[in-house]
Structure 1
Amino acid sequence: MSSTPSSLKLEAAPAPLFEELPSRTAEDAGETRHHGSGHRARLRQRLLEGGPEALLEHELVEYLLALVIPRRDTKPLAKQLLAEFGGLSALISADPESLMRVPGMGETTIAALKIVQATALRLLKAEVTARPIIASWQALLDYLRADLAHINVERVRVLHLNSKNMLIRDELVSEGSIDQSAIYIREVIRRALELGSASLILVHNHPSGDTQPSRADIAVTRDIVEAGKRLNIAVHDHVIIGAKGHSSMRAMGLL
């Protein structure tokens, strides 16, 4: 007796009511979904039509960050950064390690801030090198403050000038701790002879913000002045830069 096999009919399983979403990466988890294209367009329009003064400080940072974090509301991060570092100048001057400690910051966002700083310093330095230093003293102070006022270690720079008081070299000669750095008289004079410098301006910063010269500052400056005199190398000034201003040893009658 023969029999024919029954045909089997396979039915598809019922569709789930909710589709399972793929797991989010750590990077995705730190990103907030943002639909602020209209807001950013308005910021862009205000910037293009009204210039830099048309945007508030946090809006400048917000728009800059938006260029490198396109799918995130960058206003909270911009405000946090400004509050953390105390303003725009201090923010763009902050070292990468300090910036990295702020949640939400990474190499790309830090690089965006650093390119702003580099561009600003180039523009300010161009003003300094275009004319004799003595005729562009305020431009020099603006450049030095942008470069040194907000860093958290002490740095010493020597500006070398030719016989027409034009800047021929701006050199970092020492970087130290939060409250001291070394400057060697022999090295300063040797370098001046190598470059054919007619005169010098000494510069260093005080991370504490207090721009009053210390006894050591005064002593080493006077030693450099005396060493330079023997070789017809003048020292125009020693400028100390702080977060809230500067002091000039020549203006204070210390040279």
Structure 2
Amino acid sequence: MTALGPEGHRKRLRERFLRSGLEGFHDHEVLELLLTFAIPRRDVKPAARALLERFQSLSAVLDATVQELTQVDGVGPHAALLLTLLPRLLERYHQDRWRTVTTLGSTRDAVRYLQGHLEAERKEIFCILALNSQNGLIAVERIQEGTVNRTAVFPRLVVEAALRHRATAVILAHNHPSGEPEPSAADRQLTRKLRRLLGDLDIAVHDHIILAGPRYYSFAERGEMD
């Protein structure tokens, strides 16, 4: 006999996940599954639907602050803490997975590494990957942080960071929290300026990568670094 009520629903959600992961789950069901670990015994469906109604998307729910989440009916501090923990846990996962990376041999290597540093950020961040002559990763350094839509990057800080790490090459990178990876005219102008300044110091700029969630734009892949 199929179990009825909240406990039966919780059990079915967990069994579905164990069988096939999140395949076939709607966003509200993903939230329901998560909330079962923070809200004991109660029906979690109203809270999950209220979260999506308030924030409009699963990603926006996970990007919300504890204070914002606890303003939603049915979401207490424990549930809010769990939801805000997940993006940070994902960031730590990527960082740990790529901690032993010594060589960035392709754009995809660089993108995967950068996602661990920038994917969960809600502000625009500009950073550089400092490389040695074998494309070995020396360091990743954040240069500037900005608002959701804009970061003002000072070329002098980029040059100083490259020199400080004794890099022979760098990869420039920043994120677009808007979700659109296409570079702006200012992005292209900055790339040209940094290539010129760093080139005068015999430091190559291999690429400029813009991350926007799972999507990215690579100047090198598009032939804009030739």
Report TM bin, short chain. Answer: 0.7 to 0.9
CA distance in structure 2 between the aligned counterparts of 1:97 and 1:234, rounded to whole angstroms: 45
TM-score, normalisation: structure 1 = 0.69
* Partner residue in 2 for 1:111: 81
CA distance in structure 2 between the aligned counterparts of 1:158 and 1:85, rounded to whole angstroms: 32
Q: Which deviates more, 200-209 or 66-75?
A: 200-209
Could you tell me how far 1:112 is from its partner in structure 2? Answer: 0.7
Q: SS of 2:148's equivalent?
A: coil
Residues 95, 250 of structure 1: CA spacing in aligned structure 2 closer, same or farther, 3 A cutoff?
farther
Is 1:178 aligned to 2:167, yes or no? no
Could you tell me how far 1:239 is from its partner in structure 2? Answer: 1.8
* Partner residue in 2 for 1:3: none
* Partner residue in 2 for 1:74: 44
Q: SS of 1:62's equivalent?
A: helix
Residues 123, 39 of structure 1: CA spacing in aligned structure 2 closer, same or farther, 3 A cutoff?
same
CA distance in structure 1 between the aligned counterparts of 2:129 and 2:66, rounded to whole angstroms: 26
Q: SS of 1:133's equivalent?
A: coil
The residue type paired with residue 86 of structure 2 is V
Structure 2: runs of 5+ lacking an equivalent: none
* Partner residue in 1 for 2:170: 200
CA distance in structure 1 between the aligned counterparts of 2:77 and 2:112, rounded to whole angstroms: 28
* Partner residue in 2 for 1:133: 104
Q: How does 1:218-237 map to 2 (within 5 A)?
A: 218-237=188-207
Residues 213, 103 of structure 1: CA spacing in aligned structure 2 closer, same or farther, 3 A cutoff?
same
Could you tell me how far 1:180 is from its partner in structure 2? Answer: 1.8
CA distance in structure 1 between the aligned counterparts of 2:112 and 2:53, rounded to whole angstroms: 23
User: Identity of aligned pairs, percent?
Assistant: 36
Q: Which deviates more, 225-234 or 164-173?
A: 164-173
Q: SS of 1:201's equivalent?
A: strand
* Partner residue in 2 for 1:60: 30
CA distance in structure 2 between the aligned counterparts of 1:199 and 1:38, rounded to whole angstroms: 57
The residue type paired with residue 201 of structure 2 is L
Looking at CA atoms only, which structure, 1 or 2, has the larger radius of gyration?
1
Q: SS of 2:143's equivalent?
A: strand
Work out which of the residue numbers 149, 165, 185 in structure 1 matches 2:135.
165
| Coordinate RMSD, CA, aligned | 3.2
The residue type paired with residue 210 of structure 2 is I
Q: Which deviates more, 237-246 or 137-146?
A: 137-146
Could you tell me how far 1:134 is from its partner in structure 2? Answer: 2.9
Is 1:88 aligned to 2:58, yes or no? yes
TM-score, normalisation: structure 2 = 0.77
CA distance in structure 2 between the aligned counterparts of 1:83 and 1:145, rounded to whole angstroms: 28
The residue type paired with residue 104 of structure 2 is I
